[in-house]
Homo-oligomer: A and B are copies of this chain.
Amino acid sequence: MKVGIINITGYAGSELARIIAQHPEVELVSATGRSAAGQNISEVFPHLSSLDLTLTEELDDDVEMVFSALPHKASAEALLPFIEQGKKVIDISADFRLKDPQVYEKWYQTVHPKPELLENAVYGLPELYKEEITQSHIIANPGCYPTSAILGLAPAIKNNLIKKNVIIDSKSGVSGAGRGLNLTTHYSEINENVHAYAVNGHRHLPEISQELCSINDDEFDVTFIPHLIPMTRGILSTCYAEFNDDISEAEMDTVVDSYKEFYSDKYFVDVTDSAPQTKHTLGNNKCLVYPVIHKETRKLIVVSCIDNLVKGAAGAAVQNMNLMSGFPETMALEGLAVYP
């Protein structure tokens, strides 16, 4: 299958190219990159020089599936022609994630380019929506923070274990902030440093809320504080919830098993028996989920981690592509983590 990537010149785009390069059934035949059109990809990304691809202004017509790694708004706009041609698209931006165009407008401070398409889009988290993804033509690839948080809390919500009030404290590597230059991500500023940001509302908050609420068609109060820490890849979310009043201590003892049961047929989620480390996911598509029970304070704490560029972006996109195309779900995604 021939695929194209719109805006390959960021970290999500280049990571997608890396993963697709090892996919036996898929060929990357075309890629755009805003200011780099006309250049060979090796000039932008020496590590991709073996792809020998020239970046163009527009994707070739012969691509059968399209990934967009553009920023929001521009992404939907660039994908529209392909959608109209009936091609399957996977949008790594936020444009098709929020079901409600007014929520989109509030958080992204712009009018959605094509709100009528939102109902056709599927939130591309295969661990929750595998069936729908298989049928869909438009995939909204999940955000990196939401992926870690939703996979960490979904089993507890599904099983009605926790109250409707959760706190998500996330720690992200710097690559999540992208390849664009910014004082915040200037080496000397963020090395040997940690800080919270977007404390009054990060754009991934409505996405997390929407998805947590939709699990059981509930309302949820979500508090989400992201932090930037001095590493390149990886997100670790520590989720705090309170057990429902009707959950006994004996039932708390079964929570870990219920998590394992929930993810028993999900290849890319491992429920771990000790505190997981982002390093154990570096470069691969796993999400590690670790539920901890504090009986005395009746708290459920779930630590969850991923590689933000793989399971949090490009790997999930390939997983979605596999499902949409009838390939095995794990194809090109079996590589183990690069440790240490």
**Chain A interfacial positions (CB closer than 8 Å to B):** 11, 14, 18, 21-22, 45-50, 165, 167, 169, 171, 173-175, 179, 181-183, 185-197, 199-200, 221-223, 225, 227, 229-234, 236, 238, 240, 270, 272, 274-284, 288, 290, 292, 294, 296-297, 299, 301, 303, 305, 334-340
Contacts and interface: CB of A to CB of B under 8 A. Distances in A.
Contacts of A335: 22, 335
Contacts of A193: 231, 234, 277-279
How many chain copies?
4
Contacts of A284: 47
Chain A interface main SS type: mixed
Given A165-B297, A199-B275, A175 B194 contact: no
Given A275-B199, A301-B223, A48 B187 contact: no
27 contacts: A11-B340, A18-B338, A18-B339, A46-B277, A48-B336, A49-B270, A167-B167, A169-B238, A171-B229, A174-B187, A175-B340, A185-B188, A186-B187, A187-B189, A187-B191, A193-B231, A194-B231, A194-B234, A195-B303, A223-B294, A223-B299, A225-B301, A227-B238, A229-B229, A230-B230, A233-B340, A282-B338
A338 B283 contact: yes
A301 B225 CA distance: 9
A229 B175 CA distance: 16
Which of A173, A232, A274 has the most C-beta atoms of chain B within 10 angstroms of its own C-beta?
A: A232
Contacts of A334: 22
Nearest to A45: B339
A232 B232 CA distance: 12
Which of A182, A191, A222 has the most C-beta atoms of chain B within 10 angstroms of its own C-beta?
A: A191
B188 A221 contact: no
B171 A47 contact: no
A181 B179 contact: no
Contacts of A270: 49
Given A169-B169, A223-B294, A188 B232 contact: yes
Contacts of A18: 336-339
A227 B189 contact: no
A63 B335 CA distance: 24
Given A167-B167, A174-B187, A192 B233 contact: yes
Contact of A11 (B22, B188, B192, B283): B188
A228 to B, nearest CB: 9
Nearest to A235: B194
B195 A192 contact: no
Contacts of A45: 339
Contacts of A274: 46
